[in-house]
Amino acid sequence: MKCLDGKTRIARIPGKLKKRIWIREGDVVIVVPWDFQDEKADVIWRYTNPQVEWLEKKGYL
């Protein structure tokens, strides 16, 4: 997973998200790096297409 800080991290999807949403290649997600291993992260949110369009219009992406 390519992050905004330029690093590539391996991200895992916690169980509570794994059962509720599907995450596909190319989706915009929020990840939180692990404190003890900077090369790994947890996915905490996935944006829908309308949300991504709004973020792009406002200049956040």
Non-local (6+) Cβ contacts of 54 within 8 A are none
Query: By residue range, what is the domain housing residue 24?
Result: 10-58
Residue 4 lies in a domain: no
Residue 15 domain-assigned (yes or no): yes
Q: Give the tens place of pLDDT for each residue, 16-37.
A: 777 777 888 888 998 889 889 8
Please report, in angstroms and rounded to a whole number, the separation of the first and last CA atoms in the chain: 16
What is the model's pTM?
0.73
15 close to 23: Cβ distance less than 8 angstroms: no
User: Total domain count for the chain?
Assistant: 1
Tens-place pLDDT, residues 44-57: 889 989 999 999 99
- Residue 49 belongs to a domain with what CATH number? 2.40.50.140
Domain assignment present for residue 19? The answer is yes
